[in-house]
A and B are shown apart, each in its own frame.
Chain A
Amino acid sequence: MTAQTVNVQKRDEQFTSRTVTRIWHETPLPENPYLSDRCHCHGYDILELTKKRSFVDVLFLLFQGELPNRKQAELLEALMVSMINPGPRHPATRASMNAGVGKTSPTHILPIGLAVLGGAHLGGEEVLAAMRFLRKNSKNDAGTLANRLLSRSPPDEGDYHIAPGFGSRFGGIDPMPQQIADLAEGLHPAGKAVKWGQKFVMTITPQGLGWLDTGITAAVFCDLGFHSRDGAGLFQLLRAPGILAHGLELSNKPITSMPFPDEENYVITEQAKKK
């Protein structure tokens, strides 16, 4: 068979000549247009923000276009502190610790941990799904929906996420996200998503299900007005300090500083072995 030529037609798409942003404005230096003399974030001079506002305020501004009020700033800061470290047993942290102890370039430790934190199980993808779930159901009665979802059969083994952001962890209810939810509700009593989630959890608790880290984070993000698509990346950002700290803690330690299962504890099934 001889090769046939294919006529490929270029689409007449009009690409913009300049990329648009509403976030950041750079004023060029008169003597060098590649350097910026002043930078404005949603209209505010960054140096003025540096002097007058907190990191949390400017983070909120960056994503939402306006500075937060005091209540909003307090709530975001509380969430950031509570989420600052997934802990050394969390798979994302363990990935960064593996990188650290394995003498991976230190520049890669954080991206490796954050990549693992992006998953659909207790990761960024679940935060995104939980924000969509909370927003979609905000007008539905939480208890009624929970009962409807409880009528489904849970899996025979492993954890069950009855809805994104809600479920069991290692066969039980994770107490930390519940405590964070109580704290968030106290800080921002008007927060509809956290309040809705608390009602949802009341119904599912007798079945051994509760808030997950991803769920409370999603609820607070909703109450703070973040877009759902912001949720996955912001969750990674919030948890980044702990992931990096644990990875770096091991980066100057010998490779023997983390367990390496011996042959007795690394069991290769017979079918995987050469006969």
Chain B
Amino acid sequence: MSLQNKPKKNNTSFWDTRRGVIRTQKGGWVINEAIHNHGFSMMDDLVGKTSFFQVLFLNVTGRLPERRLTDWLEAYSICLSWPDSRIWCNQIGSLAGTMQASPLVAVGAGVLASDSFLYGPGTTKAATEFITTALLQKKNGISIEDIIAKKQRNSISPPKIVGYTRPIANGDERIPAMERVTQELGFEIGEHLCLAYDIEKVLVKKFNEKMNIGGYRCPFLSDQGLTAIEIYRLLSPVVHAGVLACYTEAADSLSESFFPLHCNDIDYQGKKSRVVPAD
């Protein structure tokens, strides 16, 4: 079917003004002048004077943050850098290593895997949106019990709130470690984090479900003025050190010696063997 009454000429002016040209508010390299970055000269103002995490923050948000905030982010990154090859993204690093893929493949694949709604930085948007919405709800007079109830399928089912459930374990040893960092760096407990603790109290009492590290980091970073999308972007590569640890061990071992499987280690439950029908 051909399109009826379509205009003779499309208005493409939006794209025409962008065709053949890149306009950026971020920065770039001007030979013999500077490598500009959000108003800074990278070589003169940033290299050796700021931390890598400050520049990462600058690149993502356009703002150069105070050092203690990026020290907090760096400490947080350690919390997601376990060298445990059972963790899903890390195991992908091990599998890449055992197949002698490059370390960049391992990091790329492992980081991609952490874009999960169950663990890692992939949970960031949902966890942040929950706590920011919950704070608005609370300010509008909704009780914490009712905020939680909105996340329940029915009155007896456990609520599904990103930041308060954790695969494998209930409770999170990373939270006290980060609470210590938060305190040592002199941060106050803001309104998002305060609410997050209040929600945890109710969840523990009613469902024995504790906060996980995502449920801590997102309110904390919201209190620092970061949006959900900014946190998601900032934390996108955060698991890479754990992936690299697992990759390295597997890559330095004999190929396919990582966690090998017998044929019968796979439980086939599909159709029985049958003849291919004639064409």
Contact = CB atoms under 8 A, between A and B. Distances in A.
Interface of A: 7-10, 31-35, 88-89, 91-92, 94-95, 98-99, 101-105, 108, 111-112, 115-123, 125, 155, 157-159, 169-170, 255, 260-261, 266
Nearest to B94: A91
Given A105-B122, A119-B99, A119-B101, A95 B257 contact: no
B118 A92 contact: no
B6 interface: yes
Given A98-B95, A117-B99, A121-B98, A34 B118 contact: no
Given A115-B101, A157-B254, A95 B118 contact: no
Given A31-B7, A89-B265, A102-B88, 4 more contacts: A34-B12, A98-B89, A102-B116, A103-B122
A119 B122 CA distance: 26
A251 B254 CA distance: 30
Interface of B: 6-10, 12, 15, 31-32, 84, 86, 88-89, 91-92, 95-96, 98-102, 105, 108-109, 112-119, 122, 167-168, 254-258, 260-261, 263, 265-266
Most buried by A among B8, B102, B114, B255: B255
B92 to A, nearest CB: 5
Contact of A7 (B32, B86, B112): B32
20 contacts: A31-B6, A31-B8, A31-B10, A32-B9, A34-B12, A88-B266, A89-B260, A95-B92, A95-B109, A102-B88, A104-B112, A104-B122, A105-B115, A118-B102, A119-B99, A121-B98, A158-B254, A158-B257, A260-B168, A266-B86
Contact of B99 (A35, A111, A116, A260): A116
Nearest to B20: A17
For the residues of B in contact with A, the DSSP-based class is loop
A92 B108 CA distance: 14
B9 A31 contact: yes
A7 B31 CA distance: 9
A102 B108 CA distance: 16
A101 B88 contact: yes
Contact of B92 (A8, A33, A112): A112
Contact of A91 (B32, B99, B265): B99
A170 B102 CA distance: 22
Nearest to A246: B266
A116 B105 contact: yes
Given A33-B12, A104-B113, A266-B86, A118 B256 contact: no
B92 A98 contact: yes
A260 B118 CA distance: 15
B113 A102 contact: yes
Contacts of A94: 91, 95, 261
Given A31-B6, A157-B254, A89 B32 contact: no
A99 B86 contact: no
Contact of A116 (B15, B31, B96, B266): B96
Most buried by A among B15, B32, B99, B263: B99
